[in-house]
Every structure is written in structure tokens, then in C-alpha cells.
Structure 1
């Protein structure tokens, strides 16, 4: 699976982004965020704080 991140999004370098994640435009992902394999975020999503999303 390919990971796709829009160049219009801001991802903190400390965030953990697994393989196969798709992040749309204008998203903001903070440093304590973990996105598991297969997660898909559409546009304008903000995730901050200690957050883990798995599917």
C-alpha cells in the first residue's frame, strides 16, 4: 500500500504515519498522533493531542 499525503497538509515530524494512509489537503496532524494502516483522512481534518486511530 502506498502512503499518500497532500502537499497542502501539515504533518508534525513526530507523528507516526503507517503505510497505506491517505491524508487529503488542508489537514493538520500533531506530534502525538498515530495513524494506523489504511486510515483515510479527507480534507480539513485536524488531529492533535495523544491520539491513535486504527481501522
Structure 2
């Protein structure tokens, strides 16, 4: 079973998100997705880097 199928019945705030290593694709998503589907923001980090702790977020 895919992760998206496991999360589907739970709905937000648990939901799968897209990721990319392509800067051009990331820029396109940043420019278009908030208006299209209401994204809340963009996380930019290295692939092996942990997500920042809450107090480090801008």
C-alpha cells in the first residue's frame, strides 16, 4: 500500500507532499501552487539535511 493511500483517510494535517531536486521545477511550484491549491509555503533544504526545528523557521 502506498503512503498516500495510508494517509488519505486521515486528511489534513497529515498529507503527502511533493518534492524535487530540480530548482526550475521548485520555482514553478513556488510561483503557481499557492494560488492553484492553497499551499502554505516552501521548504528548501539539502536532501540529507533535517527539517529545521520550529524556532529556526522563518
Quick check: TM above 0.5? no
Q: Which has the higher contact order (CA 8 A, sep 6+)?
A: 1
Of the two, which has the highest radius of gyration? 2
Greater fraction strand: 1
Greater fraction helix: 2
Q: TM-score range by the shorter chain?
A: under 0.3
**TM-score of the superposed pair, with normalisation by structure 2:** 0.20
